[in-house]
């Protein structure tokens, strides 16, 4: 269930070794700048910037395509519907349907922003182990309540999904057949979900006791785990320049 991440070694490309704190800041800067772009002439530069990061990271293409294979249903609906239901200048008329210029442009803007941001997020977050990303967020000031919760959620996702798999197999072995209409086996579904929640709840007390015995809550959080080298800072500065350039182009072109 845990997303695939690539192991990091000194020979890995720089994007893999980039300080996760700088990487997170850089990713958010780029993503929010892409959300800011509304000028269609800037879209090719956004795509070029995204492709440059992908090329630099040497992120496996098949993995990237797998992430992009199922774009959100909302995005698909908007790309199809916006040219037909919004705007007022007709571009193409066919069989009673009118594609408007404004709607088509809006659909292009939405689709490009979506694919660029999702690609960057997949590449930049996929090249750092998830637990390290959460620790980097904590080093950037994420409250301990959320950081500890996030680390535990990641730790127990595998365990609970294995529980769910086993419970569903047991149900089938006892003769349970999933109905086409959910109303017919709603109570079974509720008990399945309830049992899963109970397993998590009951396990939590043991987890808490084990954590307390290991000193949980008594040691100050170490913020020295990450050290930014000049190359890390330089890469973040390059991202800042690129985002500044995109904003300037968006406003002047």
Q: Would you put residue 142 in left (φ > 0), alpha (ψ -120 to 50) or beta?
A: beta
Q: How far is the CB of 98 from other proteins (least distance, A)?
A: 14
**What is the three-class DSSP state of 181?**
coil
Rounded distance, CA 249 to CA 253, Å? Answer: 5
User: 88 vs 94, which CB is nearer to other proteins?
Assistant: 88
What is the nearest approach in angstroms of other proteins to the Cβ of residue 38? 7
Contact (Cβ atoms closer than 8 angstroms) between residue 5 and residue 126? yes
Which whole-number Å values give the CA distances from 38 to 78, 108, 138, 175, in the listed order?
16, 10, 33, 56
Closest contact distance (angstroms) between CB of 196 and other proteins is: 5
Classify residue 19 as left (phi > 0), alpha (psi -120 to 50) or beta.
Answer: beta
- Nearer to other proteins among residue 73 and residue 173 (C-beta): 73
Nearer to other proteins by Cβ, of 56 and 157: the residue is 157
| Chain position carrying tokens 């519907």 | 81
Instruction: For the CB of residue 100, give the shortest distance to other proteins in the complex, in Å.
Output: 8
Q: How many helices (H) and strands (E) does the chain have?
A: 10, 2
SS3 223: coil
If the CB atoms of residues 89 and 231 are measured against other proteins, the closer one turns out to be 89
CB atoms within 10 A of CB 56: 13
In this complex, which beta carbon is closest to other proteins, that of residue 52 or of residue 209? 209
| Rounded CA separation 119/19 (Å) | 19
Instruction: Work out how close the CB of 107 gets to other proteins at its nearest, in angstroms, rounded to a whole number.
Output: 8
3-state secondary structure of 93: strand
Least distance (Å) between residue 208 CB and other proteins: 4
Which position has the token pair 């500065």? Answer: 237
Q: Which is nearer to other proteins, 51 or 234 (CB)?
A: 51
Q: Using the minimum distance from each CB to other proteins, give the nearer residue, 58 or 203.
A: 203
Q: φ, ψ for residue 90 (rounded to 5)?
A: -65, 135
Least separation in angstroms between CB 58 and other proteins:
20
Which residues lie across from 90 on neighbouring strands?
100
């Amino acid at each position: 269930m845990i997303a695939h991440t690539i192991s990091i070694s000194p020979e890995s490309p720089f994007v893999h070794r980039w300080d996760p704190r700088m990487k997170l800041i850089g990713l958010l800067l780029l993503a929010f700048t892409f959300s800011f772009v509304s000028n269609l002439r800037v879209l090719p530069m956004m795509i070029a910037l995204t492709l440059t990061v992908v090329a630099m990271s040497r992120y496996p293409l098949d993995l990237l395509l797998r992430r992009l294979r199922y774009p959100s249903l909302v995005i698909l609906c908007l790309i199809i519907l916006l040219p037909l239901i919004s705007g007022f200048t007709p571009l193409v008329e066919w069989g009673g349907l009118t594609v408007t210029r404004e709607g088509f442009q809006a659909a292009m803007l939405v689709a490009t922003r979506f694919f660029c941001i999702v690609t960057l997020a997949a590449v930049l977050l996929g090249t750092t182990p998830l637990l390290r990303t959460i620790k980097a967020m904590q080093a950037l000031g994420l409250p301990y309540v959320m950081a500890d919760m996030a680390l535990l959620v990641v730790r127990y996702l595998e365990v609970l999904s294995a529980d769910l798999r086993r419970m569903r197999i047991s149900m089938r072995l006892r003769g349970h057949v999933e109905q086409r209409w959910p109303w017919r086996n709603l109570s079974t579904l509720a008990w399945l979900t309830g049992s899963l929640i109970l397993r998590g709840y009951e396990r939590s007390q043991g987890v808490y006791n084990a954590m307390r015995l290991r000193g949980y809550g008594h040691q100050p959080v170490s913020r020295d785990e990450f050290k930014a080298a000049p190359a890390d800072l330089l890469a973040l500065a390059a991202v800042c320049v690129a985002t500044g350039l995109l904003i300037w182009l968006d406003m002047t072109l």
